[in-house]
Amino acid sequence: MKPTVAPFPLTRMRRTRQSPAIRALVRENTLTSDDLIWPVFVRDGEGMEEPVSSMPGVLRRSVDKIVEAAAEARDLGIPVICLFPYTDPALKTEDCAEAWNPENLSNRATRAIKEQVPGIAVMTDVALDPYNINGHDGFVEDGVIVNDRSVDALVKQTLSQAEAGADIIGPSDMMDGRIGAMRRALEAEGHKNVTIMSYAAKYASAFYGPFRDAVGASGALKGDKKTYQMDPANTDEALRLIERDLNEGADMVMVKPGMPYLDICRRVKDGFGVPTFAYQVSGEYAMIQAAAQNGWIDGEKAMLESLMAFKRAGCDGILTYFAPAVARLLRDG
């Protein structure tokens, strides 16, 4: 039923905007720290915190410093921390075997967080690009990113992460059939409660550049990822991908990037009613930070407004590098 609005002056829309108390009373969407997932970058070494030049305020941290970050997140009420490894180039190979090494950076950080920071959930990234000498999310054969062999490797990576204690597996690779293969393997190996948040609608976007700097993949990438990541012109395809991944055993789904794809978030939430997340990616973060540092926008207000846009579009949560700053602002009022 279409709502009816009485004519002016019986209806004065400004009545409900006249004070902070009334605005709060009728506010349709609310942002809390429970909505946040904090992506962090882990590197080798000890006592290390290394700035990422293209992402102001973001650090690559050694495992001990990642544990400190996880404790900070827990204390701020952020429920999930998401790990991305900055892999030594010497460990990047054609066969990507470091991806399922029990002692790789991601697995060591996962175990350390689970041992030392109870109460926070750990999400991990499933893709071969941090370990691939070619910089791609799957194996490259004769210049082609092959699907089925890549899925077999991704399953091994998934099991390695589950055995390390990951609570949420985040397949970001966009290979066909990987969710079903991962879910079957997790069930068979006794990891029945490991959750899968599928990067189900991941676009071949220009907004990933600073992230690739952060994980050391920019120089390694040969070609582009357009044969497996989505065409930015497509929307119906995103819904087909969401439906497929849910049918294969995904518990939650993600749209990536975030702000340029709010229409996709809305269609996914309306169409499926499942836990829906968006990733406010590195390029989105860097643009807001750069504009704020130049004095062109109010950085705090822009940060909060950008995250509220995700809630308004139907998202249940957001992966954002702003997570600790937002949580502190929300805590302090």
Query: Is 251 part of any domain?
Result: yes
The per-residue DSSP string of 215-261 comes to HT-TTT--S-STTTSBPTT-SHHHHHHHHHHHHHT-SEEEEESSGGG
Tens digits of per-residue pLDDT, 242-274? 999 999 999 999 999 999 999 999 999 999 999
Mean pLDDT of 78-104: 96
Annotation marks residue 311 as catalytic:
no
Q: Which two tokens stand for residue 91?
A: 């460990």
- CA–chain centroid gap for 291, Å, is 23
Predicted confidence at residue 222, as pLDDT, reads 77
Choosing from 65, 202, 225, 269, the catalytic residue is: 202
| Contact (CB, 8 A) for 273 and 239 | no
Q: How many domains does the chain have?
A: 1
**Domain annotation covers residue 1:** no
Q: Is residue 199 part of a domain?
A: yes
In angstroms, the Cα distances linking 288 to 25, 33, 325 are 29, 20, 13
Which is catalytic among the residues 225, 256, 269, 311?
A: 256
Q: Which helix (H) or strand (E) holds 125?
A: strand 121-126
Task: Kindly report the CATH number assigned to the domain that includes residue 83.
Answer: 3.20.20.70
Residue 194 burial by Cβ neighbours in a 10 Å radius (0-12, 13-18, 19+) = buried
Residue 17 maps to a domain:
no
pTM of the model: 0.95
Q: Is residue 9 part of a domain?
A: no
Q: Is residue 196 within a helix (H) or strand (E), and if so which, with residue range? A: strand 195-202
Which range marks the domain in which residue 43 is found?
A: 31-332
For 98-108, what is each residue's pLDDT tens digit? Answer: 999 999 999 99
Q: Is residue 114 flagged as an active site residue?
A: no
- Do the domain assignments include residue 123? yes
Which of 15-24, 107-116, 217-226, 309-318 shows the lowest mean pLDDT across its residues?
217-226
Asked whether residue 141 is assigned to any structural domain, the reply reads yes
289 located within any domain: yes
